[in-house]
């Protein structure tokens, strides 16, 4: 390079053209995100919208398109979740569980009350009916919590497995 041109570059604070060809120093990949060119055919309305966005924000058309794609990626990722067919399947399963609980709940509570009553009537226990019923409810609640936590864990594992299989 000619000495005058090089001196002017130094004076203006410009770097010598490097391996990337634009005069910017090469930066390690960990400190700067590398942008890659993308070509796509889009509708005229979207093209105009990107142009308007670029003008309104004082950025290049390329930057505006990149921001649009970033927003689109985030939107698509936020929509990931349970597919419509899978959601229907889950709702049907929940309805089945609800039906079973409605069928089994009242008899279970009635059975607990009867057990507490009969146990205290025989005279073999040294606690009142109310104390025995409270103990039965406490134990039943603990058991129910354990069953629910196991079912929730299995559901999360199944959903995680479905998501990972869906991405492959």
Query: What are the pLDDT digits (tens) for 53-73?
Result: 999 999 999 999 989 888 888
Which tokens hold the place of 157? Answer: 């594992």
62 with 127, same domain?
A: no
Report d(CA 19, CA 37) in Å as an integer: 18
Whether 10 has a pLDDT exceeding 60, the answer reads no
52 with 67, same domain?
A: yes
pLDDT at 6: 54
Q: Indicate the pLDDT class of residue 51, thresholds 50, 70 and 90.
A: very high
Task: Give domain status of residue 14, yes or no.
Answer: no
Cβ atoms of 148 and 156 closer than 8 Å: no
Q: Considering the entire predicted model, what is its pTM?
A: 0.34
Whether 167 has a pLDDT exceeding 60, the answer reads no
What is the arithmetic mean of pLDDT over 14-42? 61
Cβ atoms of 50 and 65 closer than 8 Å: yes
Q: Whats the size of the chain, residue-wise?
A: 168
88 with 161, same domain?
A: yes
pLDDT at 81: 67
More confident residue, 83 or 111: 111
99 with 49, same domain?
A: no
Residue 30 DSSP code: T
Report how many domains make up the chain.
Answer: 2
């Amino acid at each position: 390079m000619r000495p005058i041109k090089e001196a002017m570059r130094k004076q203006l604070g410009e770097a010598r053209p490097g391996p990337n060809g634009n005069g910017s120093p090469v930066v390690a990949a960990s400190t700067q995100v590398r942008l890659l060119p993308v070509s796509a055919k889009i509708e005229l309305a979207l093209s105009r919208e990107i142009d308007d966005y670029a003008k309104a924000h004082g950025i290049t058309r390329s930057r505006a398109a990149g921001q649009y794609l970033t927003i689109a990626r985030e939107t698509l990722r936020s929509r990931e979740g349970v597919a419509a067919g899978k959601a229907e399947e889950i709702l049907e399963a929940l309805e089945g569980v609800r039906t079973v609980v409605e069928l089994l709940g009242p008899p279970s509570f009635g059975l607990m009350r009867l057990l507490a009553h009969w146990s205290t009537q025989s005279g073999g226990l040294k606690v009142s009916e109310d104390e025995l019923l409270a103990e039965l409810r406490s134990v039943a609640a603990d058991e129910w919590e354990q069953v629910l936590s196991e079912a929730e864990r299995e559901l999360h594992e199944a959903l995680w497995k479905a998501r990972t299989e869906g991405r492959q």
